[in-house]
Amino acid sequence: MDSRPSLGSLFILLGLISLLVKCYSSSEDNMKTYIVYTGKIINDEASSLIIYQNMLNQVAESNSTSKSVLYHYKRSFSGFAAKLTVEEARRMAGLDGVVSVFPNEKRQLLTTRSWDFIGFPEYVEREYNEYDVIIGVIDSGIWPESESFDDKGYGPPPSKWKGICQSSDFTCNNKIIGARYYRNDYGEDFLKNNILSPRDTTGHGTHTASTAAGNPVSRTSMLGLGHGTTRGGASSARIAVYKVCWSDECQDVDILAAFDDAVIDGVDILSVSIGGKSDDSIHFMDAFSVGSFHAMKKGILTVLAAGNFGPKSSSLTNFSPWAISVAASTMDRKFVTKVKLGDNKIYEGTSLNTFDLQGELWPIIYAGDAPNKEAGFDKDSSRNCSANSLDIKLVKGKILLCEDRIGPSEAYRVGAVGVLVQGQKSLDTANSFPLPGCYLHSKDAAKVHKYIKSRRNPVATIFKTYESNDTLAPMAASFSSRGPNNATPEILKPDLTAPGVDILASWSPMSPISQFHGEKRKLEFNIVSGTSMSCPHVSGAAAYIKSFYPTWSPAAIRSALMTTAKQMSPEKNHDAEFAYGAGQVDPMKALNPGLVYDADEEEYIRFLCGQGLDMSMLLQITESIINCSERGYMIPRDLNYPSFAFKVQRPKHHLNASSKRTVTNVGLAMSTYRAFVTAPKGFNISVTPDLLSFTSLGEKQTFILTINGKMKKSIGSASLIWDNALHGHDMLLSWCSFVQDQSIAWHISKTLGSIFTCP
């Protein structure tokens, strides 16, 4: 008897196999990487892996593929990363011992003159202890051969350092004392554009590290622009590198692993110039919130970039109250590029144009008149100079006028002589292009377009960029993310601002200065902008303060920086404190704040109780049994923060609220501070008591601020000054209306201003 299967059975068998393959593929397609945060450390690594694998088995769907731990967080907190479906992630969040489950998001990387501009000259008083301060930079790596990181004159790393140098292509030294890199998964395409080492191939991490702690390097510039001495704020501090960003992205799973290592390695300050999501609104649901909390527990201050999603309201991306969020502002130097048309009219734009057309006039064409019709593009696509939208035959050898900021890349591809781009936003930021070019204000771009249409043979030229004085500085950069704070509206964010526009610092020579594909110019110094650039200014300032006061808590350092910041004008910045926080950082004045608003883990626990975290979650986070009913449920506006914010649910609603603060005396042992309040018409602001007398250092005093009045404008400012003739805290109060959850909420915020001496 023939036992071979019939043709019909073979078809059935093949069909079943095909169905199984489809089910398997469908399961794979529905899965993504999630981070499971479990809080407290499990000391036995083998046991923790068994526990995590059991958790994965518990939540696995019947048709799901076998699961394994992709990342294991074990040094300063515990948790893991794994591929899960949405349903499996939901089940995981309900298991005992799980604090939070959140998807692995892809994040974005968001100085010759800048330190001088904020009143911090090169030869300031420095403590020898600065050599013992370690700044951990979580970024895209570092270019170790840069002069900014030479270790001449440095002794061995401080004994507290426990990190490693994880690299085969460079050696750490006594300046760069540690380096690690993190990448969860990669393929052949990834390796074509990246190096699996802490070496920086994008320039970003080198730029931020040198801004925070780079050695002084004289006679630097970007092809003649920004000439001077580049240096970091804490130029004697050591640097520890944690590379989490690559040519394509920065992932939460890698960022959290870097925090996990850095906290135990022994860093003092963490500088993180990476943007989260502006719609994040829950604590412990992203890598920055989790990582910075555990850093705070170990006495490490985390400094975060506020984000580059401005000027939209409520667009800031890093909002944790145990970290500093830094906005970006301008300084008194700007770069101007002039454009001359054939009718001799000249328009001023902005860019970093180092190409010299020597005044020669070239044909100019509007991009909308040169669509690549063979590829199916019309003028609506080509006017923006989108990829492959232009006809090379029509554009090559001409200056091109584009309506979108993506224009320079396409202009370079098709062989244009130069490019003019209509600026969609404020022209407060200069950029490098791979060819002669600049941004023009939309009104001027319209005039150029009109000129092109009115001439049979229109011509133009683009001049080299020159430096000019910006008399309006400091102003909040247009790109800098704004508050109010989505997660906790009654905590003012951003905290303060620092120079983040057109900053010159060290760069990786592996990355083109314009960061356009195909660009051939590669330098060791570059000028770039972003809250990524302002963040390390505050990191350097914080390290400088740390060198004088090594026992100060992260909150005390933040308070000193905020309460002594230089006031900025709400008239020039219509978003007021929601754009710049306490004002522009002033490291010299921050050395003598007089009073500080301190906060420890206990303070944040009571805050988290008020946010609704239960005993089980707090146990996982703090490793202690927390009874919120005994500790107290703190309302957000009572967190001992160096700013105030009050929320009002309806417009024109009468506001009657109070908030408590405790100050610690770090100035003179015998000192008295008196409160002076200036309030706008219609508002009553009182402080009780209005006199604080101290008899010793470290003494604490508590006061209550009460506000009573009715909103008349959407944004305004008032002030409260604590004055003792030597130290003064100038506290600005502002309010703003914004839409949230289909209802109008109103805010009043307070920031702390600059120290001054009374006459």
Q: Per mean pLDDT, which range of 58-72, 160-174, 399-413, 427-441 is the poorest?
A: 58-72
Q: How distant is the alpha carbon of residue 558 from its chain centre?
A: 16
Q: Concatenated DSSP letters for 251-307?
A: EHHHHHHHHHHHHHHT-SEEEE-EE--TT--STTSSHHHHHHHHHHHTT-EEEEE--
- Beta bridge mates, 325: 304
Write the DSSP symbol of residue 660: E
Mean pLDDT, the chain, whole residue set: 86
CATH code for residues 334-469 = 3.50.30.30
- Residues with a catalytic annotation lie at 139, 204, 532
pLDDT for residue 613: 86
pLDDT for residue 280: 60
Q: Per mean pLDDT, which range of 336-350, 381-395, 707-721 is the poorest?
A: 707-721
Span between the terminal Cα atoms of the chain, in Å:
114
- The set of residues, in sequence order, having a beta carbon less than 8 Å from that of 595 and lying 6+ positions away, is 563, 663, 664, 665, 666, 667, 673, 722, 727, 729
Q: In this structure, are strands 399-402 and 418-423 parallel, antiparallel, or unpaired?
A: parallel
Name the CATH superfamily housing domain 27-104: Peptidase S8 propeptide/proteinase inhibitor I9 (3.30.70.80)
Closest CA to 334 of 514, 446, 499: 499
Residues of each domain in the chain carrying CATH 3.30.70.80: 27-104
Closest CA to 514 of 349, 274, 351: 351
Q: Among positive and negative, which fits the CA dihedral 245, 247, 252, 254?
A: negative
Task: Report CA-CA distances (Å) from 601 to 26, 63, 489, 700.
Answer: 45, 44, 21, 18
Per DSSP, helices labelled H in 549-600 are 554-563, 577-580, 587-590
Work out the number of other CB atoms within 10 angstroms of the CB of residue 424.
11
Residue whose token pair is 């000259």: 121
- The set of residues, in sequence order, having a beta carbon less than 8 Å from that of 23 and lying 6+ positions away, is 63
- Beta bridge mates, 665: 595
CB of 611 closer than 8 Å to CB of 285: no
Integer Cα distance of 419 and 461 in angstroms: 10
Residues of each domain in the chain carrying CATH 3.50.30.30: 334-469
Integer Cα distance of 383 and 156 in angstroms: 58
CB of 538 closer than 8 Å to CB of 585: yes
pLDDT for residue 7: 43
In a 10 Å sphere around its CB, with 0-12 CB exposed, 13-18 middle and 19+ buried, how is residue 10 labelled?
Answer: exposed
- Nearest-10 crossing angle of helices 204-213, 531-548: 30
Residue type, 333: R
What are the tens digits of pLDDT across the range 562-613? 999 998 888 788 888 899 999 999 999 999 999 999 999 999 999 999 998 8
Closest CA to 320 of 98, 567, 554: 554
In a 10 Å sphere around its CB, with 0-12 CB exposed, 13-18 middle and 19+ buried, how is residue 750 labelled?
Answer: buried
What are the tens digits of pLDDT across the range 520-541? 888 999 999 999 999 999 999 9
Q: Which two tokens stand for residue 451?
A: 């000129």
Q: Flag whether pLDDT at 32 surpasses 80.
A: yes
Per DSSP, helices labelled H in 612-752 are 615-622, 628-631
Residue type, 277: K
pLDDT for residue 699: 98
Integer Cα distance of 303 and 531 in angstroms: 11
What are the tens digits of pLDDT across the range 622-677? 878 888 988 889 999 999 999 888 777 666 777 888 999 999 999 999 999 998 88
pLDDT for residue 290: 92
Integer Cα distance of 498 and 414 in angstroms: 39
Q: Which residues of 618-645 are buried (b: 16+ CB within 10 A; e: fewer)?
A: bbbbbeeebebeeeeebebbbbbbbbbb
Name the CATH superfamily housing domain 108-332+475-550: Peptidase S8/S53 domain (3.40.50.200)
Residues of each domain in the chain carrying CATH 2.60.40.2310: 634-752
One-letter-per-residue 3-state SS of 162-194? CCCECCCCCCCCCCEEEEEECCCCCCHHHHHHC
CB of 476 closer than 8 Å to CB of 573: yes
Residue whose token pair is 């398997």: 24
Q: Among positive and negative, which fits the CA dihedral 365, 369, 374, 376?
A: positive
CB of 493 closer than 8 Å to CB of 485: yes
CB of 530 closer than 8 Å to CB of 305: yes
In a 10 Å sphere around its CB, with 0-12 CB exposed, 13-18 middle and 19+ buried, how is residue 44 labelled?
Answer: exposed
Q: Flag whether pLDDT at 172 surpasses 70.
A: yes
What are the tens digits of pLDDT across the range 452-462? 999 999 999 99
Integer Cα distance of 491 and 747 in angstroms: 10
CB of 555 closer than 8 Å to CB of 600: yes
Better pLDDT: 40 or 54? 54
Tell me the pTM.
0.88
Work out the number of other CB atoms within 10 angstroms of the CB of residue 747.
26
CATH architecture of 634-752: Sandwich (2.60)
Better pLDDT: 113 or 296? 296
In a 10 Å sphere around its CB, with 0-12 CB exposed, 13-18 middle and 19+ buried, how is residue 554 labelled?
Answer: buried
pLDDT band at 510 (very low <50, low <70, confident <90, very high): very high
Better pLDDT: 353 or 748? 353
CB of 79 closer than 8 Å to CB of 95: no
- Beta bridge mates, 37: 79, 100
Closest CA to 545 of 245, 222, 158, 135: 135
Better pLDDT: 432 or 125? 432
Q: Which two tokens stand for residue 90?
A: 């939901």
Give percent above pLDDT 90 in the chain.
Answer: 62
SS3 206: helix
Q: Which residues of 212-237 are buried (b: 16+ CB within 10 A; e: fewer)?
A: bbbbebeebbbbebbebbbbbbbbbb
Residues of each domain in the chain carrying CATH 3.40.50.200: 108-332+475-550
pLDDT band at 418 (very low <50, low <70, confident <90, very high): very high
Give percent above pLDDT 70 in the chain.
Answer: 88
Q: Per mean pLDDT, which range of 139-148, 184-193, 234-243, 457-466 is the poorest?
A: 184-193
CB of 99 closer than 8 Å to CB of 27: no
Integer Cα distance of 263 and 259 in angstroms: 6
